[in-house]
Amino acid sequence: MPVRNDFSPGEFCWLDLTAHDMKAAVEWYGPLFGWQAMEMPTSGDRPPYAFLMKGEDCVGGIGQMHEDMMAQGIPPVWNSYVATADCAATEAKARELGATITVPTMDVEGHGKLCFMLDPEGGAVAVWESTAESSPGVLVQEPGSLSWNELMTRDSATAQRFYGELFGWKFAPMPMDGVEYMIAKSGDTDAGGFMPMDGPKFDGVPAHWLIYFHVDDVKATSEMAAATGGAVHVPPTSIPIGEFSCLADPQGGGFAVVHVSNPGAC
């Protein structure tokens, strides 16, 4: 699939990592996914930020976490952004629906507006309103790029009501052994998935959005992550559409990798 810059409201349109040590994170992810960092200008006291590039194509972004956030014990995190036509209006609606706004609508000069929030269960998500005449776009569904966004939740019914009203998503079940997995649809587009966190294996794991990166070889990627200081939380596992694994970088930033070998199984 080519680089996309045509995201409609309700579709995931951007991702970035807020790292404790941005430089070290770039050095770790670079060999794993074939990324390079292209640092972007920042103003005032804003921490450094860079685009993550796969060749000439943009995959997402990476930023240095502010010292105040690190002092609060906030871990490194991959952030998922949903496109909106009006960031401020989406923020207001999210408040009405019970969200906690962590970063109110703010301007990103020359690019757009963003807002960060916690859904009623505490899952963090961002919204993005593009105000630029053009954008670099985002590479998707290629090795080393975004493949899927998935909400890990203990209360899927409440999450469906919240996100359905906020983004207009509809939901459809996806057959999966022993799991009530739901596909969130934005119009005719599959926007993401909802995975219930049932059982003791999820004890202590908060609700969160999990980003999946497409890879050619899940086993090799997992082994490389572990050998270079990362962690394997879920080893390579077969699923109806292929294989996946849940990993973490050396700083603790969690993400997943997936190889889709049977897309028709959805």
Q: Could you give the number of structural domains in the chain?
A: 2
Bridge partners, residue 231, by sequence:
248
Which domain does 81 fall in, by range?
12-130
Please check whether residues 126 and 16 belong to one and the same domain: yes
Identity of the residue numbered 42: T
Residue pLDDT, tens place only, 226-246 = 999 999 999 999 988 899 999
Tokens found for residue 16: 């970035």
What's the CATH code of the domain at 153? Answer: 3.10.180.10
Cα 152 to Cα 149: distance, rounded to the nearest angstrom:
10
Q: Does any domain span residue 208?
A: yes
Domain boundary among 106, 130, 154: 130
- Residue 59 forms part of a structural domain: yes
Q: Distance between CA 24 and CA 108 in Å, rounded?
A: 25
Q: Are 71 and 150 in the same domain?
A: no
pLDDT tens readout for residues 51-63: 999 999 999 999 9
Query: Both tokens of residue 19?
Result: 């790292």
The pTM for the full model equals: 0.94
Q: Please give the helix or strand (H or E) that residue 137 lies within, else none.
A: none
Q: pLDDT tens-digit profile of 128-172?
A: 999 987 777 899 999 999 999 999 999 999 999 999 999 999 999
Instruction: Identify whether 235 is part of a domain.
Output: yes
Same domain as 26, residue 96 = yes
| CA distance linking residue 40 with residue 62, whole number of Å | 10
- The answer to whether residues 261 and 149 belong to one domain is yes
Cα separation, 76 vs 24, in Å, equals: 12
Domain end (from 69, 101, 130): 130
Taking the mean position of all CA atoms in its chain, how far away is CA 176?
A: 22
**Beta strands 189-196; 145-153: pairing state:** parallel
Under DSSP, the state recorded for 8 is: P
Per-residue pLDDT reduced to its tens digit, 10-39: 999 999 999 999 999 999 999 999 999 999
Torsion of Cα atoms, 151 then 216 then 62 then 166, to 10°? -30
Model pLDDT for residues 188-234, shown as the tens digit of each residue? 999 999 999 988 889 999 999 999 999 999 999 999 999 999 999 99
In terms of Cβ atoms closer than 10 Å to its own Cβ (0-12, 13-18, 19+), residue 195 is middle
